[in-house]
Amino acid sequence: MTLATPTTQAPQLPQLHLPRNPGMDLDLDWVARVQANTSAIERRAATLPGRRSVKKDHQAAWLCRAISLIDLTTLSGDDTPGRVRRLCAKARQPVAPGILSALGMTGLTVGAVCVYHDMVETAVEALQGSGIPVAAVSTGFPAGLSPLALRIAEIGQSVAAGAAEIDIVISRRHVLTGNWQALYDEMREMRAACGAAHVKAILATGELGTLRNVAKASLVCMMGGADFIKTSTGKETVNATLPVSLTMIRAIRAYHDRTGYRIGYKPAGGISKAKDALVYLALMKDELGDRWLQPDLFRFGASSLLGDIERQLDHHLTGAYSAGWRHAMA
């Protein structure tokens, strides 16, 4: 795995210049043909942590890239405007200036800040002028069981409040009952409600039962116009895993091969260590190529991940591990 060593210019913020996925007619024959060889997928996923190793300056460069791909997230019931503003300050300056200076890096920010709908206006105000987009979780997050009309209205309110990205949750029951038409219709309606805001479809893969269901749900959401597909809300018992990621990434590749449209991918929940981020980056590079290592096509849904990456960068420069409290989120 190769990547240039850190330079004086940070990875660019997403320009969202790619043609948006308009979706396509629901192709039930294609959905019916979808397979997922679970044992083969799990064997491939098990090899990933040991197949790629990057050290020293190359590792630092990869970790800086990972920071630029983070959706820095707070989704707690006790969120306050003050907490969100502190998170936004961390998004603007994710790594201590002394570390960035020693790496020869300037202008590094995270990919986005992700908050509940009620905190969108606060985040937008705090990030004004930074170029960092605000993503809002919507549609009855995390369960997605409120009436559809309310979920659609919530999307509209989040967009009106300034959210540039909407993370919607699908109705898991449509997947579990094989009602692909209902899932497609729901996705189309949510995509329309988002307007110019990009939509990330959260599959809640830990609740879908099988990798085949994950593959089919991924495909149907892309047919419905999703700009990104995302593993999890972060609230399920099982969130992002490598087998699930491999399944979803290969669905993205199949959709791109058929339509020419690039769909983004967002693993979320349970990715808290820098070494795990490196594995996911290697997986994306192997399966989809370098173009998918940009913020407009790949994001980490995470909060504690940033602190561990900052700690690893500090270790790269000093040779010693600092205390975690020195790299607080805010």
Using the predicted structure, report yes or no on whether residue 326 has a pLDDT greater than 50.
yes
Query: What is 248-314 written as a DSSP string?
Result: HHHHHHHHHHHH----EEE-BSS--SHHHHHHHHHHHHHHH-GGGGSTTTB-EEESHHHHHHHHHHH
Query: pLDDT-based confidence at 329, cuts 50/70/90?
Result: low
230 is known as an active-site residue = yes
The tokens for 283 are 């997986």
Q: Among the options 90, 200, 216, 230, which is catalytic?
A: 230
The pLDDT, as a whole number, for residue 6 is 42
Q: Among the options 71, 167, 308, 314, which is catalytic?
A: 167
The pLDDT, as a whole number, for residue 10 is 43
Q: Is the alpha carbon torsion for 42, 215, 252, 174 positive or negative?
A: negative
Overall average pLDDT of the 129-152 stretch: 95
- Give the integer Cα–Cα distance in Å for 74 and 21: 28
**Coil, strand or helix at 116:** strand
Q: Is residue 99 part of a domain?
A: yes
Using the predicted structure, report yes or no on whether residue 3 has a pLDDT greater than 50.
no
Using the predicted structure, report yes or no on whether residue 52 has a pLDDT greater than 50.
yes
Overall average pLDDT of the 44-72 stretch: 89
The pLDDT, as a whole number, for residue 5 is 43
The pLDDT, as a whole number, for residue 13 is 40
The tokens for 71 are 């959706």
Q: Among the options 90, 200, 216, 266, which is catalytic?
A: 266
Average model confidence (pLDDT) across the chain = 91
- Give the integer Cα–Cα distance in Å for 194 and 158: 9
Query: pLDDT-based confidence at 230, cuts 50/70/90?
Result: very high
The pLDDT, as a whole number, for residue 323 is 63
- Kindly report, residue by residue over 80-103, the tens digit of the pLDDT: 999 999 999 999 999 999 999 999
The pLDDT, as a whole number, for residue 49 is 86
Q: Is residue 4 part of a domain?
A: no
The pLDDT, as a whole number, for residue 12 is 42
Tell me the percentage of the chain whose pLDDT exceeds 70.
92
pTM for this model (two decimals)? 0.92
Query: pLDDT-based confidence at 105, cuts 50/70/90?
Result: confident
Burial class (CB in 10 A: 0-12, 13-18, 19+), 214: buried
Contact criterion met (CB below 8 Å) for 169 and 159? no
Q: Is residue 322 part of a domain?
A: yes
Contact criterion met (CB below 8 Å) for 218 and 248? yes
Domain holding 34, by residue range, is 28-327
Number of H helices, E strands in the chain: 13, 8
How many Cβ atoms from other residues are within 10 Å of residue 249's Cβ? Answer: 23
The pLDDT, as a whole number, for residue 171 is 97
The pLDDT, as a whole number, for residue 56 is 82
Contact criterion met (CB below 8 Å) for 280 and 245? yes
Q: Is residue 221 part of a domain?
A: yes
- Give the integer Cα–Cα distance in Å for 13 and 173: 36
Q: How far is CA 269 from CA 51, 74, 78, 93, 218, in A?
A: 23, 12, 19, 23, 18
27 is known as an active-site residue = no
Closest listed residue to residue 170, CA positions, set 179, 160, 162, 161: 179
Overall average pLDDT of the 5-34 stretch: 74
The pLDDT, as a whole number, for residue 320 is 77
- Kindly report, residue by residue over 180-222, the tens digit of the pLDDT: 999 999 999 999 999 999 999 999 999 999 999 999 999 999 9
The pLDDT, as a whole number, for residue 55 is 78
The tokens for 297 are 């096509």
Overall average pLDDT of the 124-148 stretch: 96
Check which CATH number belongs to the domain holding 302 and give it: 3.20.20.70
Give the chain's domain count.
1
Q: Is residue 256 part of a domain?
A: yes
Side chain identity at 217, as an amino acid letter?
A
The pLDDT, as a whole number, for residue 141 is 95
266 is known as an active-site residue = yes
Long-range contacts of 27-32 (CB under 8 A, 24+ apart): 27/223, 28/180, 28/181, 30/219, 30/258, 31/180, 31/216, 31/219, 31/220
- Give the integer Cα–Cα distance in Å for 135 and 72: 10
